Every structure is written in C-alpha cells, then in structure tokens.
Structure 1
Amino acid sequence: MAKSIENQSIHHDPSMEPMTHLDLNEQTPIRAIAKQVVERAEVALHHHPWGQMVFSDTGVVQVKTPQVAYLVPPQHAVWIPPGVAHDSSLLEKAEIFSVYMFQTNCYFHGETWRKEWGVCRCFQVSTLLSELVKRIATQTTEKIGEQTYSAMCTLISSEVRQAQKVALGLPMPEDKRLRHLCDLFLQSPLQTTTLSALAGQVGASESTVTRLFRQELQMTFRQWKHQALLSKAIDMAAMRVPTGIIAQELGYATHSAFSYMVTSLVGKPPKAFLYQDKNDDSTPKMNK
C-alpha cells in the first residue's frame, strides 16, 4: 500500500508563519503572497479579521478548522472567512498562494456575500483568477498602478463569486462514539466497509449511529464515507499514484465504480480532477 502523506514528516518553515498583520483597507483590499515550499510545511492554528483564499498550481493544500478538514488538489482553493480558526499545510514541493481579502468594501460587502461566503468552502480556480493572483503576489501596488490594481481587485472578486463550488471537506463529529467510528474508518478507508460493522466496534446500534450522523454532520454515513474516500484519493494522487491503484487500495472492484464516485462528487473523472499539474502532462507514476 502506498505510504500516506499523513505519515510523512512535517517541516516547519519560518516563511509559512501565519499572517496576522496586513495593511488591508478600502484602498488596498487584496494582498496575495506566493511561497515556494521544498517539502511538506505547515502553518499553525490561527485566525485573522479578513477573508483568505489558499491554493496551489501544482501541489495539494490541506486546511483544517476545528470542525472540518479540507484536502484540495491543484487548481482548487479553500476559502476561509474572517475569524475562522484554521491551520494549513502544503503537502508536497510546490508553490502556495495565499490571498487575503478585506471585506467591508464594495468588493466583498452585501448580504449575498455574507450568506454564501460566511462559511468555508472549496472551489475551482480559473486560469484568469490564477494569473491575477500571481501578478498581485509578485508586483507591488505602486508598480501595477492604482487604476490597474483596482480593476484587478474587481476581477478577482468577480472570479471568486462566480467560481464553481466543489464538494470537498471532511467534517468530524464531537460525539465520542461517532468520532471513534470515524477514526476507525479513516485508519483503513475502504468503500466496502459497512456502517453496521463499524457500529459494532464502537458498541452502538446502527440506528443510533445513523441518527448521530444526521444530527452532528447533517449527512448520511454513505455521504461521509464518500467524502473520506475522496480525501484519501487526493492524498494518494499527491504522491502521483495512478488512479487504477487508488481505486484498488480504496476497495473498489472496478475502476469505473471509483470513477463514478469521484465524478458524482466533483463533476469530473478522477484523472481530470486529481492530476491538474499544468507543468506536467505525463502519466502519474508510483513513487519508489
């Protein structure tokens, strides 16, 4: 079985320290920072008064809040609203982009924005959005020019608002029995694992666990299981494991069954969703 990224060592990179002080205001509502990471690196748990978008062109980004873990492939972003505690990691050698957004201005103000973007969410990063972020990250506002910078901020906010939402994120419960059950599944995530088998291991009835899933996580066990399997697939794809091997290790009898699961969740087949490294069009290969 392929070695999980979760079992790899984590490097504490001083350049990945949380950004707790930024000069964001009505005149400078967006700042973007690009960081090259040579090995897995993490940012400690923190929060700040502005919104943040995190993504990578070629690497897998992990963001955790106290309730949900998000694992997103290249060309997808995690949105973190103001005040939400979170930590983040880049799981491989790549470049990570952090975009910080001041929200009490014309770009990010209004009831619709608060309703739709007041919670964490994941979405696909368009080519235009990626290029806009890169320019703001690599050039000063003075060099860009005030008018161009203002227009770019408008475009960035528009691209974020219109971005295609993707169903990523694995919520974790607080109930001890349900948490134990979820942890057991994550130790060996297989699509063949049944709720009744897991319930028996934690000393609860299947009906009790079913009720707890709906009460605590607002989803069924099957829905949660598919989210967990997708997260594991993203983890393995970050190590360039081919989709056929991923399907086998997750317990799928056929590659088409695995492909159906991924496509039903994210709207794309596994190869198109999991491997979006624009600089590498080669077939994924197993690490040796």
Structure 2
Amino acid sequence: MPEAPTGRRPLAPGAGIDAHRHDTHQIVYACRGVLSATTDAGTWVAPANRAIWIPAGTVHEHRAHGDTDLRLVGLTGNPLGLRRPAVLAVGPLLRELIIAYTSDGLHGAERARLLGVLLDQLRHAPEQPLHLPTARDPRLAAACAVLHRDPADGSTLTRLAARVGTSDRTLARLCRSELGMSFPQWRTQLRLHRALLLLADGVPVTVVAHRCGWASASAFIDVFGRAFGYTPGRAFTM
C-alpha cells in the first residue's frame, strides 16, 4: 500500500476518488464544499467545519458535493489513537493550520514546526457523531434502503417492518446491535447527511427541509444548527 499523500486536490461537484487504502493515516478536509468518505462500515460526511480521520489500511472512497477544495494530510503516527474512521470538529486555528500545511512553499524545519502545532490541535479536536453506519442484516438493510430512496418518508418502525417482512421489535434490536443507535437517531443522521449534500448543490433551505422530511424550515434549521454549530443558510458562505 502507498503512503497517504499530503497536499491539495480540488474536486468538481460530483467528482470522486475511487476505493483505495494507505499504509499510513490521513486527515481529509474540505475547506470548501462537502466531502463524503465511504467504507464497508458506512459513510462519513464533513462540511467545512469538520474533517474526516481515515486510519491506515482502511479501504475508502470519496465523493465531492459542491465545488470542493480538498486538503489531505498524511500521518505516519496516530495522534488520536483511533482505529476506525471518525469525523472531527475543525476550529478556526486547526482549519488554517491544515490549509497552510497542505499549501506549497513549506520546507524543512518550518514544515516540521507547523506539523507539530497541527498535531497538538488535532489531539484536542472533539469527535462528532456524523457517521451513517451501514446495515448488514438484509431485513434492516431493506428498511434503511426505503429511507435512503426517500428521506422524507415518515413511516413508523412498525410500518417499515411490515414492508420488509419482519417485526418492529426485530428492527429495533438490529438498529441497536448493527447501527449503534435507535431507529429515530439513524433516520435523523440520514436526513442531516442528505441535507448537507443538497445544500452543497445549491438547493434552497426550504426545499431541503421538505425533501429531507422536516415539517417546516424552522424545525430543520434548529436540528441542523444543533448538529453543525451554524445555520444551513451559512453552510457554504463561511
């Protein structure tokens, strides 16, 4: 496996990087646009105040949503101690450190000093619950597929269970064991992920709220703000 690269890679809307892996760790950050990382365990989505941690050996692929300025930081060490992908909060200082470190013109001792500060900031970056795990049981996978096709589908767990030929108790148990969260939590994660992608494509906030299943734009704005720390109207003007 090659080492994870460091540098800048602009991506057009809808462009991607096919499935691959590295023998070193990597921080993946879109300082403009939205980036998703997908493995066999699920999908992680990160706007401009989040970064994605990709541990060494993880087979993953990327997709850009909106005009995306991708920054890649390859790391030989594991400053986070994480052996699984994760989404991390990126504050103003960490953002500028990543941008500077992945830009041209840094060499030698200056580059090493900048990396040291970047790693210090990275160790204190809190992990964010923005993982959309993938179901493996065919019954749960079928129920999840219904909502992937239409996040605005308001079916109860009982109704979904009937559609896929099982019971609501079975689906609830599978959600906990396979997804690590309740069904309502997973549905909210799915809707937030889809909302980020639609916003990156320039879809108006009110339309996004409707397509993703919120009863009103104000309800969507409230949930989005609590999840990401800013309103959807500011998502791509930061």
Same topology, TM > 0.5? yes
Query: Deviations 1:15-58 (Å, cap 9, x if unpaired)?
Result: xxxxx534x8xxxxxx6210122342211211112111112121
**Pairing 1:258–2:227 present:** no
SS at match of 1:138: coil
Other-structure match for 1:135: 100
Other-structure match for 2:42: 68
Compute the displacement of 1:130 (Å). 2.7
Q: Which letter does structure 1 place at the counterpart of 2:183?
A: F
Q: 2:2 aligns with which of 21, 26, 42?
A: 21
Query: Deviations 1:138-169 (Å, cap 9, x if unpaired)?
Result: 335xxx34332221111111121122332212
Other-structure match for 1:10: none
Q: 1:186 aligns with which of 148, 156, 162?
A: 148
**Pairing 1:241–2:206 present:** no
Query: Deviations 1:58-77 (Å, cap 9, x if unpaired)?
Result: 11101101011112222321
Structure 2 CA distance, aligned partners of 1:202 and 1:145? 58
- Structure 1 residue ranges without an equivalent (≥5): 1-19, 25-30, 279-288
Other-structure match for 2:123: 161
1:195-274 → structure 2 map (5 Å cutoff): 195-272=157-234
Compute the displacement of 1:264 (Å). 3.9
Percent of matched pairs sharing the same residue: 26
SS at match of 2:17: strand
Root mean square deviation of aligned Cα: 2.1
Compute the displacement of 1:118 (Å). 2.3
- Structure 2 residue ranges without an equivalent (≥5): none
Compute the displacement of 1:191 (Å). 6.3
Compute the displacement of 1:215 (Å). 1.4
Cα 1:180/1:265, change in 2 over 3 Å:
same
Structure 2 CA distance, aligned partners of 1:262 and 1:99? 28
SS at match of 1:63: strand
Structure 2 CA distance, aligned partners of 1:197 and 1:168? 26
Cα 1:156/1:252, change in 2 over 3 Å:
same
Other-structure match for 1:82: 56
Q: Which letter does structure 2 place at the counterpart of 1:137?
A: T
Compute the displacement of 1:210 (Å). 0.7
What is the TM-score when the length of structure 2 is the normalising length? Answer: 0.90
8 Å Cα contact 2:101-2:115 kept in structure 1: no
Structure 2 CA distance, aligned partners of 1:39 and 1:201? 35
Q: 2:15 aligns with which of 41, 44, 47?
A: 41
More strand by share: 2
What is the TM-score when the length of structure 1 is the normalising length? Answer: 0.76
